[in-house]
Chain A
Amino acid sequence: METVILAVIEKLPGVTGYIYPNEYELHWGLLIVLYPYLTGLVAGAFILASLERVFNVKALMPVYRLSLLTALSFLIVAPLPLLAHLGHPERAFEMFLTPHTQSAMAMFGFVYAWYLMVVLLLEIWFDYRANIVTWSKEKKGLIKYIYKILSLGATDISEPAVRFDGKIGKIITIIGIPSAFLLHGYVGFIFGSVKANPWWSSVLIPIVFLFSAIVSGMAMMLLVYMVTTMFRWKQTNMKCVNKLAEFLLYAIIVDFSLELLDFIHRLYESEESINILSEMISNRLFISLIISQIVLGTLIPVISLVMGRFGRFPDEMRRMLYLVAGVLIQVGIFSTRWNIVIGGQLFSKSLRGLTVYKLELMGVEGVFMTMLLLLLPFLALLILTKILPPWNESETDIVLPLKT
């Protein structure tokens, strides 16, 4: 019987060369691809919000609150793929109760908790407090009481009190920027610090993660803002989207340069692992790395953004170009996460062979589960925008086409 099983598995299509016998099972699947993708969006959306708050980029005002709510929606969902992937999810809380302080993964729990509790929730609360108090007086029914609870009893909306809120909000944002850097840089560190894996083990990985996070978060906000504006039948604030596209373009150029640097550095150093990694790129990751990440996810969006931002086009055409760039960047960044997480497990640590990843449709680690987890943040965002509307009606009506 054993021999029969062996004979069947030994001829697994796609496995080439020699891999250690325990390496036939890929340990981190689609859910772990999703997790850095989601946290990246959180960090990116928050950094975008902080551009308005700390660096006074007033053109981005229409997306400020929306970015905070988007960051929160994605942050709530981000731990779910991790939890679903554990062998014993019921023991997950042990990471907080008895953490192993030397473990990057254990400490991430605290970085996450800090970011959620101290940065994001507090900033949103201080930013909305005056509105919440007003709404708790104006609204009727159940929602009135929800606002009363949300105000936490702080009902003073006198001018000094509101000014105080603003000041505290700014301080939190200043703390929030390094925290957002930490949040996603740390996710990169979880991978980058695995010395056993030459594909992951790079000091650049946390930095690349960070910049790709900024890119994905900004692109997501561009999409969320344009789509929500469309569905609310409001005119898009072109000054805002142009500025957003401009920042996105700078971020994507920095991100791509870093990735290129990492690539060239590996190629030039040409360490022991270079042969198997080159084989992996050309045989296993060609579509997801070369086509999806670089061509579709980076080069076309860059062209699209340059044309949209600096070309002489009507606003509708610009919006179309931004939309294309936004969607393709999401595809590209998801591919980036895929290439890191899955790519890091496609070659054997014996550096003598390649394996394959079989995507499953159903099941906890399947495509459907992933799609559900991808939709969940948008549902959370929908609910959040109902409770805490981020729209500024007077501003969305103003059309300011930018002539360049």
Chain B
Amino acid sequence: MDDQKTQMERREFLNTCARKLPEFIMLFAVVGGAEILSAQEEQKYDPSGHNYAMGIDIHKCIGCGRCADACKKENKVPIEPRYFRTWVERYIIPSAGETIVDSPDGGIDGFPEPDKGMDILRTFFVPKLCNHCASPPCVQVCPVGATFISRDGVVLVDEKYCVGCRYCIQACPYGARYLHPVKKVADKCTFCYHRITKGLRPACVEVCPTQARVFGEAGEQSSPLRRFLRFNDVTVLKPSLNTSPKVYYANADGEVR
């Protein structure tokens, strides 16, 4: 009796298997196919074939602060107004006296009206971010090598390795780094590494309404960045420090530091 029951269960099991076979095949095909596809995708991106850089045209920036806002949202940068991966500065050069610079909340909520009586000579906006220097002082000083230049030329921080000593923050001449208040590690602009490795543009570049920010390959003949570098007189910030920044500014004033 027991024997018969076992045999029936076995038959039933085999029947079920036979009935479900097409579904199994489908499942394996889908999973396997996806794996092959994603493997191909990974294979497609070769970091050593890239060298990213950014161009910023100061004449085009209208100081709307969309870039700083998009950056905070895209990269989950702490919302408090003292942590920025990118921000916009406003320069007011009066006819006489010292240049006035401000960046309330990184420019996200706009800028207050300048004093009515002020005799303004010129005014302009300057978006700032990590310069992804080719000779980065932050990388040089990191005691454990947690901050490094990736093969595609982006300065990154390994948050699982950073000890939080803040030496890199001290070493950055541009104030581009901060200590993440929750993760307790150094944090900064990554050129939206998660986007650019998929062929997308950084969030700040994507949202800029005037195309003041240009992102692309520094080495490629046909890239928009190459065109930017070709048709503009460009400068970098604090060139005397010999950090070889890869964020190039067009039409930047000597007052910009």
Contacts and interface: CB of A to CB of B under 8 A. Distances in A.
Interface string B59-86: 0000000000000000000011111100
Contact of A22 (B83, B105, B165): B83
Contacts of A158: none
B144 A95 contact: yes
B185 interface: yes
Interface string B128-148: 100000000100111111000
A3 interface: yes
Contacts of A197: 170
A10 B170 contact: no
B173 interface: yes
Contacts of A104: 141
B171 interface: yes
Contact of A18 (B101, B162, B178): B101
Contact of B143 (A3, A99, A194): A99
Contacts of B175: 19-23, 348-350
A190 B165 CA distance: 13
A94 interface: yes
B82 A25 contact: yes
Contacts of A99: 143-145
B195 to A, nearest CB: 22
A103 interface: yes
A6 B170 contact: no
Nearest to A109: B143
A287 B173 CA distance: 28
B179 A86 contact: no
B257 interface: yes
B58 interface: no
B80 A5 contact: yes
Interface residues of A, number: 47
Given A2-B109, A86-B163, A195-B173, A18 B103 contact: yes
Contacts, number: 141
A326 to B, nearest CB: 33
A22 B163 contact: no
A194 B168 CA distance: 10
A52 to B, nearest CB: 36
Given A21-B82, A86-B163, A105-B141, A196 B105 contact: no
Contacts of B141: 102-105, 194
Contact of A21 (B84, B166, B171, B172): B84
Contacts of A344: 170
A28 interface: yes
A205 B221 CA distance: 46
Contacts of B84: 21-22
Interface string B83-101: 1100101000000000111
B170 A88 contact: no
B176 interface: yes
A104 B100 CA distance: 37
Contacts of B105: 2-3, 6
A102 B141 CA distance: 7
Given A18-B101, A105-B141, A87 B179 contact: yes
B137 A195 contact: yes
Contacts of B241: 195-196
Contact of A196 (B87, B165, B166, B170): B170
B54 interface: no
Interface in A5-41: 5-6, 9-10, 18-25, 27-28
Given A91-B163, A103-B142, A105-B167, A22 B173 contact: no
Interface in A88-119: 88-89, 91-92, 94-95, 98-100, 102-106, 109
26 contacts: A2-B79, A2-B105, A3-B109, A10-B81, A18-B100, A18-B103, A19-B175, A20-B103, A21-B175, A27-B166, A86-B163, A87-B183, A91-B163, A94-B144, A95-B143, A95-B163, A99-B143, A100-B142, A100-B144, A105-B141, A105-B143, A196-B137, A196-B171, A197-B170, A349-B174, A351-B257
Please name the 4 residue pairs, one residue from A and one from B, whose CB atoms are nearest each other, closest first: A87-B164, A20-B175, A87-B184, A196-B173
Given A92-B163, A344-B170, 19 more contacts: A10-B81, A18-B100, A20-B128, A21-B81, A21-B84, A21-B103, A25-B178, A25-B179, A86-B165, A87-B163, A98-B144, A98-B145, A103-B142, A109-B143, A194-B141, A194-B170, A194-B171, A196-B241, A352-B257
